[in-house]
A and B are shown apart, each in its own frame.
Chain A
Amino acid sequence: MNEKPISRLQKILTKGEFAVTAECGPPRGANPEVIRKKGEVLNAYVDAINVTDNQTAIVRMSSIAACAHLLKMGLEPVMQMVVRDRNRIALQSDIMGAYSLGIRNILCLSGDHQSFGSQPDALNVFDIDSMNLIRTVQTMRDEGKDMSGFDLNDPPAMFIGAAANPFADPFEYRVIRLAKKIDAGADFIQTQSIYNMDRFKEWMKMAREEGLTEKVHILGGVTPLKSAGMAKFMNNKVAGMDVPEAVINRMAGVSKEKAVEEGLKICLETIAELRDIEGVHGVHIMAIEWEDIVGEIVQSAGLTPRP
């Protein structure tokens, strides 16, 4: 990889600082103000802002366009890109287009299956998988070639991210998959939201034993809970989520008025624990349609001011 950092996020991670990223979803419409407002709210508290790509298979403003709006404000986006909706031709073309606009971070994902979204009758693509996408972006950057082996003029050089879910099954395979993603070219990892700290620590231990934490920056994912109902819903209905009984009980054990406060407490405890785990280099805050809370979380966690 280039000596000089490609992006601010890479610079912060390379320097060994504890990075903070947050997620924001583009609007279900064409108004750029929505994304600008989210950007403003997050600006002072995060190093980079993930912009989702039609998450949960619901049609929204494109990730690239929303990233471009953030860039215009001087903010740093992480463009999420899923392989569900575009074949390899469109993906490579959009990576080049994104780079030309100034986007420097990419998160390579499979994407939620369309059956979970608002248009389940859509055809999915899955021409390549997320592993192949990581490798594609890496080959563009490090070898300057597209997937056909063609030498690109001014190839895009992205700081490459991938996702990991330590809570999905089969558990013993999860670290092998992480290793594969690193081999394919992942520079940083953003994990699924962590509520089951024991399992996360076990996964991190396995990753350290394989020497993986030396090769990649792992950002632990957190999502503040708003209610016991949300905790239960995430545990039962959201694919790949693991919210232990103890966390659900904690949320259920307080009055409705105190639920948000309790959710934040849990979130801050999680961040504090993450900062103590060897190999965890940052936190990724996914406050779904609740971006206003991110500032409070980052401040209370003592992670301000950002570098």
Chain B
Amino acid sequence: MIVGEQKSISEIKTIIAPYKKILILGCGTCVKTCFAGGEDEVAVLASALRLACKKDGKEIDIEEFTVERQCEDEFIQEGAPAISRNEGVLSLACGAGVQALVRRFVKTPVLPGVNTTFIGVLEKQGVFTEECAGCGDCKLAIFGGICPVTRCAKKLLNGPCGGSQNGKCEVNPETDCAWQMIIERLRILGQMNNLRIYVPPKNWQTSLSGGPRKLVREDHMI
């Protein structure tokens, strides 16, 4: 899922300062799962902002609404009446959700209420970890299913650097060394020979360095 984190109240207050009528629009998919922008977070943020603005002596009218998925027009549509009633929208979706709204509502300012952080998994309750960089050229097959592009701080493709100790990354002792995990996993799978494979320089054209990416599925086009 896309993992995000709600911005601080003070930053949000600055962002919405020019507006008197604002809609907080939640998203019921990824950001709901990571407690950043689902229906519950919309309600809590709305109350906190009302209180904060009252304390500052600022009049503000905050409306709350949540759609199932902010990155798809079909779902965004449900929010259209609420959006048209307000001067601006504070989106609690990921950056894609914010921009999907921008695409759909040309004249309404759409403001981000969440910092989109990474593509990750729920490691345990309350802890999310990054597992995929969306590089567009997946090589997990040779790395035992553990991604060095995302999980090694130096994106090393040919084995661990000299700083890995006791299974931890030199950059952050809280982080597991991706290469230690790859080696452990290859051992379990009986694929230790993969470690001897020379991995050539990565083709980054499929990643963001090729500019914004587009996926066209002609078989699904109408």
The judgment on whether A and B are partners is: yes
A169 in complex: contacting residue of B153, B166, B196, B201, CB < 8 Å: B166
**B201:A128 contact, CB within 8 angstroms:** yes
Does A170 lie at the interface of the complex (its beta carbon under 8 Å from any beta carbon of B)?
Answer: yes
Given contacts A132-B200, A135-B198, contact A168 B155 (CB under 8 A): no
**In the complex, A192 Cα to B165 Cα: how many Å?**
14
Give the residue name and chain of the B residue nearest to A242 (CB). Answer: B165
**Per DSSP, are chain B's interface residues mostly helix, strand or loop, or mixed?**
loop
State how many angstroms separate the Cβ of A219 from the closest Cβ of chain B.
Answer: 15
**B154:A84 contact, CB within 8 angstroms:** yes
Give residues of chain B (166-188) contacting chain A, Cβ–Cβ below 8 Å. Answer: 166-167, 170-172, 177, 179-180, 183
**A131:B159 contact, CB within 8 angstroms:** yes
Q: Report B's interface with A, CB cutoff 8 A.
A: 153-167, 170-172, 177, 179-180, 183, 195-196, 198-202, 204
Given contacts A168-B163, A170-B180, contact A176 B196 (CB under 8 A): yes
Chain A positions within 8 Å of B164 at CB level: 168-170, 240
Given contacts A113-B154, A240-B170, contact A173 B160 (CB under 8 A): yes
B163 in complex: contacting residue of A126, A132, A240, CB < 8 Å: A240
Q: How many A-B residue pairs have CB under 8 A?
A: 95
**B160:A127 contact, CB within 8 angstroms:** no
Q: A110, A129, A184: which has the most chain B beta carbons within 10 Å?
A: A129
Chain A positions within 8 Å of B153 at CB level: 113, 115
State how many angstroms separate the Cβ of A125 from the closest Cβ of chain B.
Answer: 9
CB-CB nearest 8 A-B residue pairs:
A165-B162, A239-B163, A239-B170, A131-B158, A240-B162, A126-B155, A240-B163, A128-B201
**A176:B195 contact, CB within 8 angstroms:** yes
**B162:A192 contact, CB within 8 angstroms:** yes
The 0/1 profile, CB within 8 Å of B marked 1, for residues 126-160 of chain A is 11111110011000000000010000000000000
**In the complex, A213 Cα to B118 Cα: how many Å?**
44
**A173:B162 contact, CB within 8 angstroms:** no
B162 in complex: contacting residue of A116, A127, A239, CB < 8 Å: A239
Chain B positions within 8 Å of A115 at CB level: 153, 171-172
Chain A positions within 8 Å of B154 at CB level: 84, 110-111, 113, 124, 126, 129
**In the complex, A184 Cα to B198 Cα: how many Å?**
8
**In the complex, A163 Cα to B160 Cα: how many Å?**
12
State how many angstroms separate the Cβ of A105 from the closest Cβ of chain B.
Answer: 20
Given contacts A88-B201, A129-B157, A131-B198, contact A240 B165 (CB under 8 A): yes
Give the residue name and chain of the B residue nearest to A113 (CB). Answer: B171
